[in-house]
């Protein structure tokens, strides 16, 4: 298989993966982004190994925690720092987001 073909197949797989991920998002991209920004904020309390701050955020923004949590778990987010480390890594990379820092 030549390089160009290999590259185009890879790109196709990536696009499909991205579309599936986007379709599976339980929250809008913008909401997820503000969740990540909040978890990553300067002076945020250290993770207590639960999803306390994530749940609090979801409540505050009127989202159904029970619907969002399994999705976070599925992407490796079992506590606040894992949401930031694993979920952000996965969806942030695919969707090409950047955290708003200092805004």
Q: Which residues bind Zn ion (CB under 5 A)?
A: 47, 49, 79, 81
- Find the shortest distance in angstroms from Cβ 78 to Zn ion: 8
- Find the shortest distance in angstroms from Cβ 89 to Zn ion: 14
Strands (E), the chain: none
Cβ nearer to Zn ion, comparing 81 with 99: 81
- Find the shortest distance in angstroms from Cβ 15 to Zn ion: 32
- CA-closest candidate to residue 55, choices 39, 42, 43, 41: 39
Q: Are 18 and 94 in contact (CB under 8 A)?
A: yes
């Amino acid at each position: 298989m030549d390089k160009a073909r290999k590259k185009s197949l890879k790109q196709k797989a990536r696009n499909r993966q991205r579309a599936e991920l986007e379709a599976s998002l339980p929250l809008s991209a913008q909401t997820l982004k503000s969740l990540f920004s909040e978890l990553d904020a300067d002076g945020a309390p250290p993770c207590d190994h639960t999803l306390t701050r994530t749940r609090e955020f979801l409540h505050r923004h009127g989202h159904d925690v029970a619907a969002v949590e399994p999705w976070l778990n599925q992407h490796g987010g079992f506590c606040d720092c894992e949401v930031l480390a694993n979920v952000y890594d996965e969806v942030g990379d695919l969707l090409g987001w950047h955290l708003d820092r200092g805004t």
